[in-house]
Chain A
Amino acid sequence: MKTFSYARARDAAEAVTGFTPGTMYLGGGTNLVDLMRLGVAAPDRLVDVSRLPLDGIGFAGETLHIGAAVRNSDLAAHPLVRTRYPMLARAVLAGASGQIRNMATVGGNLLQRTRCPYFQDISRPCNKRQPGSGCPAIEGDHSNLAIIGHSDHCVATHPSDMAVALAALDANVYLTGPDGDRVITMPGLHRLPGDTPERDTVLEPGELIIGVELPPPPPGPSTYRKVRERASYAFALVSVAALLDVAEDGVIREARLALGGVAHVPWRARHAEQALRGAPATEVAFTRAADAELAHAQPLARNGYKVPLSRNVIVRTLLELMP
């Protein structure tokens, strides 16, 4: 591991002031420390933001504010999150292990990097790690990589479960940085790879996530369903965050749907949502909505299984949410 200097910031302003080129912010470290050990990340300086006084969860009017330093386990265990935003509690609980959820922060979870095997292996080319070096995943092992929104330069997926629920909930991400504060609505924080896959997000150098705000959820039950290669402690092959509000007459008033494990971003399934609104809440309509989204999928040679898997996971999850 390359050597670096370390400083613990007392507040967000001090963290931003302490940012110089080559600096990285350190949250729980569960991804960054590993990437440093692998040689994928090599910061000159770490500014530790894991103990900033941004560790509260509470209502500000109608919206629920979650500090960026809140640990994943505290987020999932919070009574307001469990009762008002069940898809978020379920998404967080579906990620990682008890140990890692105790360490990982909300801000760090959003900024974790892809687990694409080529990105994590510095002996291989990777456009995300080394722009212009190529993407061996396209011809190689991409069985768990993207099926939608990818490019000729990168087929990586975003690994977060939490971000998928935040995308479905229209969560606002609060940022502070050298040029001031701003707010980005999910899933707008993350970006498609295009020809600049080295940029996962729209964050500018020195910008720091200070919190996430959840607007009041639409009425209706919600959940998160994750399919993976083992029963627990694995990244998603496909996951879905879903909310369904069905009127008395059986017509869908509102639907929220976002997919994980399929794209470079937490994928808000707006085509499917549009197909669901106003449709009867039936398995036929759910399948049609899933197909409306997956019509845009462009699976690679060895990950075509994710298309029917996504369809089935969407349909099964919506059926589970039927009144």
Chain B
Amino acid sequence: MIEITVRVNRAAHQLTIDPRMSLLDLLRERLRLTGSKKGCDHGQCGACTVLIDGRRANACLALAVACDGADITTVEGLADGDDLHPLQDAFIRRDAFQCGYCTPGQLCSAVGMLAEQGPSAVTADLAEDPPVTAAEIRERMSGNLCRCGAYVNIVAAIEEVAR
């Protein structure tokens, strides 16, 4: 067992954990923040996406012990009280989900993605920081699967917020 300190959604937590525990299990089982979902537990689906020190990451692939000292934001930390994050609001208005299981990961991933700099695999000119087009969103969000296939509205919701 090992002691770590993490900040999660602006609150500090001191926890004694098994070094095998993933960040995802820490969030869900220890802190009861069940917004982040365990889809594949192999980094293939993106349902567990959270922000670690402001950058999107798969919580299932992060050992909690390796996050000692980190600042974590989960989907529960996106809204400001009853004021939804603009992406949450856009997802609702654009009907960007069906079952909702992938949605927390989609939201955290989109928040992280919109803050990222630089080109993507579909950017024609590497020297440019490209505008956030639908094609760029599709490529940059490829780490988040939606088995309901709500992609069209997910892209539309993100595009609306990016504008």
Contacts of A28 in B (CB 8 A): 61
> Are the CB atoms of A77 and B142 closer together than 8 Å?
no
Most B Cβ at <10 Å: residue of A26, A30, A102: A102
Is B77 part of the contact surface with A, judged by Cβ < 8 Å? no
Q: Report which of B22, B58, B126 forms a contact with A82, defined as CB distance below 8 A.
A: B126
Contacts of A73 in B (CB 8 A): 55, 116, 118
* CB neighbours of B41 from chain A (8 A): 37
Interface pair B58/A103, CB less than 8 Å apart:
yes
For the residues of B in contact with A, the DSSP-based class is loop
**B62 and A76 contact, CB distance less than 8 A:** no
User: Which residues of chain A have C-beta atoms less than 8 A from B18's C-beta?
Assistant: 3
Contacting pair B58 A100 (CB below 8 A): yes
Inside 8 A of A77's CB, which chain B residues have their CB? 116-119
A29 close to B63 (CB less than 8 A): yes
- CB pair B121 A232 closer than 8 Å: yes
CB distance from A44 to the nearest CB of B (A): 11
Cα-based distance from A82 to B41 in the complex (angstroms): 33
A33-B63, A77-B118 given; A98·B126 CB < 8 A: no
Docked CA distance A86–B125 (Å): 10
Nearest opposing residue in chain B for A26, CB measure: B66
Do the beta carbons of B58 and A98 come within 8 Å of each other?
no
Verify A233–B118 contact, CB threshold 8 A: no
A37, A50, A94 pick with most chain B CB within 10 angstroms? A37
A147-206 CB contacts (< 8 Å) to partner B: none
Interface assignment of B56: CB less than 8 Å from any CB of chain A: yes
A6 touches B19 (CB 8 A): yes
Partner of B2, one of A6, A29, A96, A100: A6
Cβ-based interface call for B65 (8 A): yes
**Is A50 within 8 A of B121, CB to CB?**
no
Minimal beta-carbon separation of A52 from chain B (angstroms): 13
Q: Which B residues between 40 and 62 are near A, CB-CB below 8 angstroms?
A: 41-43, 46, 49, 52, 55-58, 61-62
| A99 and B46 within 8 A (CB) | yes
Q: Are B126 and A89 in contact (CB under 8 A)?
A: yes
In angstroms, how far is the closest chain B Cβ from the Cβ of A51? 8
Query: What total count of A-B pairs have CB within 8 Å?
Result: 108
Cα–Cα distance between A28 and B46 once the two chains are bound (Å): 16
Q: Are B142 and A97 in contact (CB under 8 A)?
A: yes
Q: A96-B143, A97-B46 are in contact. Are A1 and B20 (CB under 8 A)?
A: yes
Is B109 engaged at the interface, CB distance under 8 Å to the other chain? yes
Contacts known (A37-B42, A90-B126); A4 close to B57, Cβ less than 8 A:
no
Shortest CB-to-CB span from B123 to chain A, Å, is 8
* Chain B CB within 8 A of A8 CB: yes
Q: How far is the CA of A3 from the CA of B65 in the complex (A)?
A: 13
Could you tell me the distance between the alpha carbons of A241 and B41 in the complex, rounded to whole angstroms? 32
A30→B126 contact, CB < 8 A:
no
User: B32 → chain A, closest Cβ, in Å?
Assistant: 23
Contact B119 A99 (CB under 8 A): no
Q: Which residues of B contact A4 (CB under 8 A)?
A: 19-20
Q: Residue B62 contacts which of A33, A46, A233 (CB distance < 8 angstroms)?
A: A33
Contact partner, A3, options B19, B63, B123, B140, Cβ 8 Å: B19
A4-B20, A37-B41, A102-B55 known; 19 other A-B pairs, CB under 8 Å? A6-B19, A29-B63, A30-B58, A33-B22, A33-B61, A46-B19, A46-B63, A83-B127, A90-B121, A93-B119, A93-B120, A97-B46, A98-B141, A100-B43, A100-B58, A100-B61, A102-B57, A103-B57, A103-B58
For the complex of A and B, the 7 pairs showing the least CB-CB separation, nearest first, are A97-B143, A77-B118, A232-B142, A233-B142, A6-B19, A82-B126, A93-B121
Give the interface of B toward A (CB within 8 A): 2, 18-20, 22, 41-43, 46, 49, 52, 55-58, 61-63, 65-66, 68, 109, 112-113, 116-121, 123, 126-127, 138-144
26 cross-chain CB contacts under 8 A: A3-B18, A3-B19, A3-B20, A5-B19, A8-B68, A29-B66, A33-B61, A46-B19, A82-B126, A83-B126, A83-B127, A89-B126, A93-B120, A97-B46, A98-B56, A98-B140, A98-B141, A99-B46, A99-B56, A99-B58, A99-B109, A100-B61, A102-B112, A103-B62, A231-B142, A232-B139
